[in-house]
A and B are shown apart, each in its own frame.
Chain A
Amino acid sequence: MAGWSEKILDIDLNTQTYKTYPLDMEMAHLFIGGRGLGARLLWDMVGPEVDPLSPENVLIFTNGPLTGTGYQTSNRFSVTTKSPLTGTVLDANSGGFWGMQFKKAGYDVMIIRGKSEKPIWIEIKNDAITFHDASELWGMRVFALTQKLGQNNNKRNVLCIGPAGENLSRIAAIMNDRERALARGGPGAVMGSKNLKAIVIEGKDRPEIEDRERFKFMLYETRKLLAASPLTSQALPEFGTVVMMNIVNNIGALATRNHQQTQFEGAEAISGEELTEKYLVKNSSCWACPIGCTRISRTEKVEGEGPEFESTWAFGAQCGIDNLPTIIEANTLCNDLGLDTISTGSTIACAMELSEKGYMDSDLRFGRADQLAPVIEAMAYRQDVGSDLADGSLRLATKYGHPELSMSAKGLEMPAYDPRGMQGQGLLYATSNRGGCHMRGNMLGPEVLGLPKLIDRFQVQGKSSFVILHQNSNAAIDSLVLCKFTNLGVADEYFARVLSAVTGIQYSTGDMIKVGERVWNLERLYNLREGFTRKDDTLPPRLLNEAPTDGPSQGWVVQLEPMLKEYYRGRVWDENGVPTPKKLAELGLANLM
């Protein structure tokens, strides 16, 4: 059927064997692909008894019906696993070229099970799967390895881990196409625990499209919309995602020095404008993306992709550092070592606060740009102080007796937006199924950018409705799989129509959002089965009790409790945050309870 290859590749590393079998198409219609399909498969395969770093955990790579079709930003793919950082269900998705190649190889899903006795890498050329010894590659960094294995953007694409993944850092990323990342929640550690260094893919099948005329029309209309939006046609291409630095700082929502303040006096020096003026070499883009938000930046020491807004914030405002070249170098170093930049930066910031307050014996201090590179290296190799930081801020802060200084939700470090200045964002972090994350719904649109229309960022009543809608919508987009930046210029209704054109199955906007709701509830069930409860739907005490003393968010803390109550009711969950039988039946999930 157009949209799906209808085929699963199932690889067992214990025996270095594989099999293929048909995708359950009823499941595919209910969960579409990407994140949704990954979550549904994980539910059956990895229960609460499984340690995330044991051979029993799995890596489930998925693409979606739109992947590789040529629709704008249809380059993305997902990995789903149980997170070694949070213990929750984890989906991370990434752009670049690898996802498109994965689709062309003729699979919707690739499951990696077990653990190889010694390091290996896998080469996939459609039906030809080859296991290679990776003993000599073990220890290599990402850039050199990617080149060695023959990365060629449109023909042969490399996905791998760096030293951080090998050393089982719980904030290790899986990297693809050299500098794209499946970053959050530690999937790189899961890959490292399986002694799997890389997966290289070459595909040759062009994805089918059921209604080419309608698809062409939607392609054209989407191009018009993206060209008309100043965000997707001007701001992102010109400044990259770092364009958000000054905007978020100006409204008093830029977390600073481990969330001790909500504005950073050095924001201008690390802004998108500064990056473009002084360090930008050229723009770049993922496959089939007309936006081109990717930066190629250069300092005296490095040249590479990025940095993105969140990475710039993590090493910048969050660490009190306003030295942009050092931030660019820290970002490049993380990409080369295979580390999640948000968690790395925020964990360093946590260590800086612990050290400044005398809880931890180290010389780490806010504002010390010179400390970034050495501590990042130490984290990837678990050396010296880095061994304490390699598993994220919550384990670090807990070790030193102050878990409240970890700026995380469910153990995942939060990104740049301080929710004291964006109430909806606070509810979003607290209820996110993979922890403190801005990609599981983002209130930046309605609370800051006015997309689709501006709502009061301090308003509490009714905010849960927006959070629920955006969570459901993002879960659907993650299941297609598309880049969420497309959604800055193109409404959900277009995605439903494109999905209909590609598959020949008629999806209304409501149908697509319903898929997102199904995915969200399934992920919730997964976390409940893992032992998470209502008390985990929370935020660091600082955000609930310590109001900023100046700036545009002065006097505000996150009003979580009333929003959470309204949220549970809106989701038709009980007062403990458990989906009701009625809701599960409506979503076709009743059989999972």
Chain B
Amino acid sequence: MIDQRIYEMFCDIGRDLYTANMISSHGGNLSVRLGDRVVIKRRGAMLGNLKPNDLIETRLEKNDSGVALASTELLAHRTIYKMTPALAIVHCHPRMAIAFSLSRDEIVPVDNEASYLLKKIPVVTEEFASGTPEMANKVATALQNYKIIMLRGHGSFATGQTLDEAFFWTSTLEEACQIAFYAKLLNEPFIEYRKMSESYNKF
């Protein structure tokens, strides 16, 4: 039986992701780690409109019947939990960040908030970008050093102790990409205001 508080957190973050245009109707997924178990969105459920039976509890290490119902990205989530200290994962499709991921290997923010919080966001590439062990390993390896990363052309994976922490990194990234996009559109000389910003790409 999944605690009502956990269910409500999934509903809140799922709805916010949808209304913020970070997922399509059935895209993205969320999970939390409960000891040796994982609670994850049911495959095909709508994050923006979750129902109580849309959450699946399964084991972290071994398969059980829960895997038949779980999100396509269960393998990635399990691998991330095994390889990092994460207790929650937000995976979604932030549009501006995806656009940026198509042309660069790392996203280095120019705005203050993301510079302060994220420094840089690596972009990793995987041909089979959904549900494969290769993708899971590549994403989890990158998340050993960063709390949020981009899978090129696919979307973001963010980790945290809670879903709202991981959502925070996600929305900060998308905001940073939007600001960088607007700055590019303005096409005016950039005035550097951040001391030691030249070191961000070494973070």
Closest CB-CB distance, B171 to chain A, in whole Å? Answer: 13
Partner of B147, one of A216, A466, A468, A493: A493
Tell whether B3 is near chain A: CB-to-CB under 8 Å: yes
Q: Does A456 lie within 8 Å of B165, measured CB to CB?
A: no
Within 534-593 of A, Cβ neighbours of B (below 8 Å) are at 566-567, 569-570, 572
* A502-514 interface bits toward B, Cβ cutoff 8 Å, 1 = contact, 0 = none: 0000001111010
Chain B residues near A453 (CB-CB < 8 A): 160-162, 164-165, 168
Bound form: Cα–Cα A469–B145 in Å: 17
Partner of A461, one of B3, B36, B202: B3
Count the A-B residue pairs with Cβ separation under 8 angstroms: how many? 86
Nearest chain-A residue to B164 (Cβ)? A453
Partner-contacting stretch, out of B18-26, B43-51, B68-76, B80-88: B80-88
Q: Does B3 lie within 8 Å of A459, measured CB to CB?
A: yes
Q: Does B85 lie within 8 Å of A472, measured CB to CB?
A: yes
Tell whether B103 is near chain A: CB-to-CB under 8 Å: no
Q: Does A217 lie within 8 Å of B199, measured CB to CB?
A: yes
Nearest chain-B residue to A445 (Cβ)? B161
Nearest chain-B residue to A567 (Cβ)? B35
Q: Does A459 lie within 8 Å of B144, measured CB to CB?
A: no
Within 77-117 of A, Cβ neighbours of B (below 8 Å) are at none
Tell whether B33 is near chain A: CB-to-CB under 8 Å: yes
Within 146-203 of B, Cβ neighbours of A (below 8 Å) are at 146-147, 160-162, 164-165, 168, 195-196, 199, 202-203
Partner of B161, one of A225, A461, A466, A566: A466
Closest CB-CB distance, B115 to chain A, in whole Å? Answer: 10
Chain A contributes a number of interface residues (CB within 8 A of B) equal to 39
Chain A residues near B85 (CB-CB < 8 A): 469, 472-473, 492, 509-510, 513
Nearest chain-B residue to A462 (Cβ)? B34
Q: Does B161 lie within 8 Å of A452, measured CB to CB?
A: yes
Q: Does A509 lie within 8 Å of B33, measured CB to CB?
A: no
Chain B residues near A569 (CB-CB < 8 A): 35-37
Within 1-42 of B, Cβ neighbours of A (below 8 Å) are at 2-3, 5-6, 32-37
Bound form: Cα–Cα A566–B39 in Å: 14
Q: Does B168 lie within 8 Å of A214, measured CB to CB?
A: no
* A201-244 interface bits toward B, Cβ cutoff 8 Å, 1 = contact, 0 = none: 00000000000011011001100110010000000000000000
Q: Does B33 lie within 8 Å of A220, measured CB to CB?
A: no
Q: Does A220 lie within 8 Å of B84, measured CB to CB?
A: no
Nearest chain-B residue to A217 (Cβ)? B199
Q: Does B36 lie within 8 Å of A455, measured CB to CB?
A: no
Tell whether A70 is near chain B: CB-to-CB under 8 Å: no
Bound form: Cα–Cα A570–B119 in Å: 32
Of residues B3, B37, B85, B165, which shows the largest number of chain A Cβ atoms within 10 Å of its Cβ? B85
Chain A residues near B160 (CB-CB < 8 A): 452-453
Tell whether A446 is near chain B: CB-to-CB under 8 Å: yes
Q: Does A455 lie within 8 Å of B162, measured CB to CB?
A: yes
Partner of B5, one of A214, A459, A469, A492: A459
Bound form: Cα–Cα A465–B89 in Å: 14
* B109-150 interface bits toward A, Cβ cutoff 8 Å, 1 = contact, 0 = none: 000000010010000000000000000000000001111000
Tell whether A269 is near chain B: CB-to-CB under 8 Å: no
Closest CB-CB distance, B194 to chain A, in whole Å? Answer: 10
Chain A residues near B87 (CB-CB < 8 A): 465-466, 469
Nearest chain-B residue to A446 (Cβ)? B161
Q: Does A462 lie within 8 Å of B32, measured CB to CB?
A: yes
Bound form: Cα–Cα A509–B161 in Å: 13
Partner of A566, one of B34, B116, B202, B203: B34
Q: Does B165 lie within 8 Å of A570, measured CB to CB?
A: no
Tell whether A497 is near chain B: CB-to-CB under 8 Å: yes
Chain A residues near B83 (CB-CB < 8 A): 510
Tell whether A312 is near chain B: CB-to-CB under 8 Å: no
Q: Does A570 lie within 8 Å of B203, measured CB to CB?
A: no
- Chain A interface residues (CB < 8 Å from chain B): 213-214, 216-217, 220-221, 224-225, 228, 446, 452-453, 455-456, 459-462, 464-466, 468-469, 472-473, 491-493, 497, 508-511, 513, 566-567, 569-570, 572
Of all A-B residue pairs in the complex, the 8 with the closest CB atoms, nearest first, are A570-B35, A508-B144, A461-B3, A462-B34, A217-B199, A569-B36, A566-B35, A513-B85
- Can you list 10 A-B contacts with CB-CB less than 8 angstroms, sorted by A residue number? A453-B162, A453-B164, A455-B161, A465-B35, A465-B87, A466-B161, A492-B85, A493-B146, A509-B84, A509-B144
